[in-house]
């Protein structure tokens, strides 16, 4: 590249000499010398222009290589937000009312998945949806995952990446394996929203953040297993007081991770209350419920308080935090029940829910107390 620059400078210098020579020619220099100089100048300019063309091509090539190395060879997919109507049925009405006061717009995202109908045998594309809405005065994104883990979530679009009228965020979602609820996978989606045009650019990511045009399922190892130590975890009670699970060492701790919007979680509650009643005279057994208290900075404490006033749940009620979400792998739509012995070891772990579940827990507790 330096040679190209130097040659270009030589051409400009020689051009200056030629112009000065022109003045000399006007003053009586020989026409033969003028013709020779012009011929040499034209050859040099032609050579220089060819080299400049080469340098431009080299720069374009380097730019393309640099672009591919920086952003990968797969470009973003694109779509655009459109007005949303509840009659479309994309968002379950219960979720829309619980998490949002108003649904504004939506867009359909291609996943690359094709599902065959059980009875019809007809194949159809399985999309995912994203959109905007409001909870009070707070502007939100909502995501409807459909087959990709089910469920509906919201996220505050003012959290990060909000510059030059662009919102950029990465969404991670745990996908359940119906046969083995703890052998799960994760999907990762990068979304860029132009707030002016409402255009959406998105790409599916792998474990190394490389882009893909199709959704990728990334295997996960679950951190909570029977026979392992329960990690140090601190949660908050409704009154703001911290509760450290580790400080309960020496006692048997029964944990229920649940969601207000989870039918099987709610079905368990009457039976779990029976456990509290049965062991209430034993000071060495502590029952703790951990529930989703915040959805991406949208506080649900008021809704939880209203819910628990209607449906009594006699465990010590605490609120989840980011540490909890990572630990329980966002066990959306599934309650998680854990029993920790006095040494801090997990001796029972289950990720499922039904009304008679408390009988399993009772059997384990009775064996531990013998």
Summarize pLDDT for 71-80 with one digit per residue, the tens.
446 899 999 9
Listed in sequence order, the DSSP H helices in 230-352 are 263-278, 301-310, 322-328
CA distance 140 to 194: 14
| pLDDT surpasses 60 at 124 | yes
Query: 185-194 and 138-144: which strand pairing?
Result: unpaired
CA distance 296 to 317: 20
| pLDDT surpasses 90 at 87 | no
Query: What is the pLDDT averaged over residues 233-237?
Result: 91
| pLDDT surpasses 50 at 296 | no
CA distance 148 to 186: 9
Contact 142, 130 (CB under 8 A): yes
| pLDDT surpasses 90 at 127 | no
pLDDT band at 43 (very low <50, low <70, confident <90, very high): low
Q: What is the pLDDT of residue 121?
A: 78
Q: pLDDT tens for residues 129-180?
A: 988 888 888 888 888 876 655 566 666 554 344 445 567 777 776 665 544 5
Q: What is the pLDDT of residue 88?
A: 81
| pLDDT surpasses 60 at 340 | yes
Q: What is the pLDDT of residue 174?
A: 62
Q: What is the pLDDT of residue 7?
A: 30
Contact 110, 229 (CB under 8 A): no
DSSP-assigned letter for residue 201: E
Contacts of 314 (CB under 8 A, 6+ apart): 272, 273, 276, 277, 287
| pLDDT surpasses 60 at 194 | yes
CA distance 80 to 126: 18
Contact 335, 268 (CB under 8 A): yes
Q: Considering only 50-54, 61-65, 241-245, which range has the smallest mean pLDDT?
A: 61-65
Q: What percent of the chain has pLDDT over 90?
A: 26
Radius of gyration of the chain (CA): 33
DSSP-assigned letter for residue 132: E
Q: What percent of the chain has pLDDT over 70?
A: 65
Query: What is the pLDDT averaged over residues 334-344?
Result: 92
Burial of 289 (0-12, 13-18, 19+ CB in 10 A): buried
Q: What is the pLDDT of residue 55?
A: 44
CA distance 121 to 113: 15
Query: What is the pLDDT averaged over residues 317-341?
Result: 81
Answer with the residue of higher pLDDT: 168 or 204. 204
pLDDT band at 261 (very low <50, low <70, confident <90, very high): confident
Contact 220, 185 (CB under 8 A): yes
Q: pLDDT tens for residues 297-308?
A: 445 667 788 888
Contact 88, 103 (CB under 8 A): no
| pLDDT surpasses 50 at 19 | no
pLDDT band at 12 (very low <50, low <70, confident <90, very high): very low
| pLDDT surpasses 90 at 341 | yes
Closest CA to 362 of 342, 337, 344, 345: 337
Contact 337, 352 (CB under 8 A): no
CA–CA–CA angle 216, 218, 220 (5° rounding): 160
Answer with the residue of higher pLDDT: 190 or 29. 190
Q: What is the pLDDT of residue 264?
A: 84
Q: Considering only 7-11, 105-109, 320-324, 362-366, which range has the smallest mean pLDDT?
A: 7-11
């Amino acid at each position: 590249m330096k040679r190209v620059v130097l040659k270009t400078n030589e051409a400009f210098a020689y051009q200056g000499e030629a112009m000065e020579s022109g003045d000399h020619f006007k003053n009586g220099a020989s026409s033969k010398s003028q013709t020779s100089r012009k011929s040499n100048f034209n050859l040099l300019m032609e050579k220089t222009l060819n080299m400049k063309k080469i340098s431009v091509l080299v720069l374009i090539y380097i730019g393309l290589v640099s672009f591919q190395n920086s952003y990968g060879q797969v470009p973003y997919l694109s779509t655009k937000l459109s007005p949303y109507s509840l009659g479309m049925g994309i968002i379950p009405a219960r979720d829309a009312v619980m998490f949002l006061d108003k649904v504004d717009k939506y867009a359909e995202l291609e996943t690359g998945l094709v599902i065959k109908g059980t009875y019809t045998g007809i194949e159809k594309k399985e999309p995912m949806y994203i959109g905007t809405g409001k909870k009070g005065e707070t502007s939100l994104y909502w995501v409807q995952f459909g087959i990709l883990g089910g469920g509906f979530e919201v996220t505050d679009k003012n959290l990060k990446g909000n510059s030059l009228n662009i919102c950029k965020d990465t969404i991670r979602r745990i996908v359940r394996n119906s046969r083995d609820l703890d052998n799960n996978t994760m999907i990762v989606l990068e979304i860029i929203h132009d707030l002016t045009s409402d255009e959406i650019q998105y790409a599916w990511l792998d474990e190394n953040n490389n882009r893909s045009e199709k959704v990728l399922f990334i295997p996960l190892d679950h951190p909570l297993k029977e026979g392992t130590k329960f990690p140090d975890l601190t949660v908050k009670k409704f009154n703001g007081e911290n509760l450290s699970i580790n400080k309960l060492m020496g006692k048997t701790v029964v944990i229920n991770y649940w969601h207000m919007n989870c039918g099987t979680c709610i079905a368990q509650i009457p039976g779990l209350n029976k456990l509290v009643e049965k062991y209430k005279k034993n000071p060495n057994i502590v029952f703790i419920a951990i529930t989703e208290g915040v959805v991406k900075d949208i506080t649900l404490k008021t809704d939880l308080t209203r819910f628990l006033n209607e449906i009594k749940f006699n465990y010590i009620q605490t609120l989840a935090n980011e540490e909890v979400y990572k630990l329980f792998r966002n066990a959306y739509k599934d309650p998680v029940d854990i029993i920790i012995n006095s040494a801090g070891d997990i001796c029972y772990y289950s990720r499922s829910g039904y009304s008679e579940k408390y009988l399993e827990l009772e059997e384990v507790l009775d064996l531990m107390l013998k």
